[in-house]
Amino acid sequence: MACHVVRLKTELRERVLEQFRFRGVRHTYGEVDDGPPALCVARVDCQLGIEHLGRDCESCPRLLSWTAGPTDREVTLRCAWLHTDPVADRMTGAAAIVAVTPSRRCDEADRIAAREGVHRLLVIERDRLVGIVCRCDLERAPSEQVSAVMTREVAVIDATTTLGEAAAMMRELHVGCLPVARERRLVGIITRGDLMRAGLRAEKLA
């Protein structure tokens, strides 16, 4: 397998974190089952990928403010992201990753990507990451197998990597996403879109 974990060299880390410093704000919504909209009783679809009661948000350092609405059964939360947050908090988890096998036909894989609304697919064989493929490659060879067009050299980052470091690696490696591993086991994927939704300006990834 040609997948390898990449990390920033120590001497580059401080400079990179300064260059990719950001603070983003994201609006998150919660729903109230009964009574007036109040944060403590709202069911919040947390930006960390879990659902919990709003009373848990009250002690969260990410919470900036909240307001009632936009409907009479909802609350709106303003939550912060920082370049120092780990990618594990913003990635798509392994259970939700869209993947195909290397023997899948490219036209079939492209239909899967289109249906799921993703641009890139991870290629998995026997529970191991063996490549990555984008829709542009799939469209060029519809009758070939995915193995014929996939990229076999895949850079993987550790789950403790920060969002700022991930952004630096994407720009340096000229890639739009990075699989995420914990103790060499695939646990998720972080994309350029994830970073921009967290608050990083697109021009920094150009």
Say if CB 75 and CB 69 are below 8 A apart.
Answer: yes
pLDDT (0 to 100) of residue 150: 96
pLDDT (0 to 100) of residue 141: 95
- Write out pLDDT tens, residues 93-149: 888 899 999 999 999 999 999 999 999 999 999 888 999 999 999 999 999 999 999
Query: Is residue 1 very low, low, confident or very high in pLDDT (cuts 50, 70, 90)?
Result: very low
pLDDT (0 to 100) of residue 137: 95
Task: Record the tokens describing residue 91, joined without a space.
Answer: 């990635």
Least confident of 10-14, 20-24, 91-95, 124-128: 10-14
Residue 47 confidence (pLDDT) above 70:
no
Q: Would you say domain 4-16+88-205 falls under CATH 3.40.50.620? A: no
Looking at per-residue pLDDT, the higher value among 194 and 1 belongs to 194
For range 173-179, the mean pLDDT: 90
What predicted TM-score, i.e. pTM, was given to this entire model? 0.77
Looking at per-residue pLDDT, the higher value among 178 and 9 belongs to 178
Q: Where in the chain is the domain with CATH 3.10.580.10?
A: 4-16+88-205
C-alpha to C-alpha distances, 1 to 13, 38, 113, 123, 152, nearest whole angstrom: 28, 51, 23, 12, 8
Question: Which of 70, 75, 25, 74 is closest to 47 using CA atoms?
Answer: 25
Residue 206 confidence (pLDDT) above 80:
no
Percent share of the chain, pLDDT over 90: 40
The answer to whether the bond into 70 is cis (omega within 30° of 0) is: yes
Cα–Cα distance between 34 and 51 in angstroms, integer?
18
pLDDT (0 to 100) of residue 2: 60
The bridge status of strand 74-82 relative to strand 63-68 is antiparallel
Q: Which amino acid is located at 100 in the chain?
A: V
